[in-house]
Amino acid sequence: MASAVVLPDGISARGVRLAEEAAITALQQAGELSIREAADQLGLTYEGYLALLARMGLPASNVDGEDAEGMRFLLERARRIGASSR
């Protein structure tokens, strides 16, 4: 089902793009779109969409609760392993 978001008159092309990115990333973060689908909707490659998420400070996956704690543990462990191998 196609839909459109109506923006006020006078919004610049950059503003329209920001609105598109905000809407698509919100849907992806909520689990409504896959990363690949979100990238396609924005005309980006998979990697380009991941870069957009990074610039926005958003995770590539939407984890919360116990999953987030587990991800933090794994990230910290990977950092320690990386630091000890230098």
* pLDDT tens per residue across span 11-69: 999 999 998 999 999 999 888 999 999 999 999 999 999 999 999 988 887 655 555 56
Q: Which residue has the higher pLDDT, 78 or 14?
A: 14
pTM of the model: 0.68
Name the amino acid, one letter, at 10: G
Q: What is the pLDDT of residue 60?
A: 85
Burial of 52: CB neighbours in 10 Å, binned 0-12, 13-18, 19+? middle
Pick from 48, 24, 52: nearest CA to 38: 24
The pLDDT confidence band at residue 83, using thresholds 50, 70 and 90, is: low
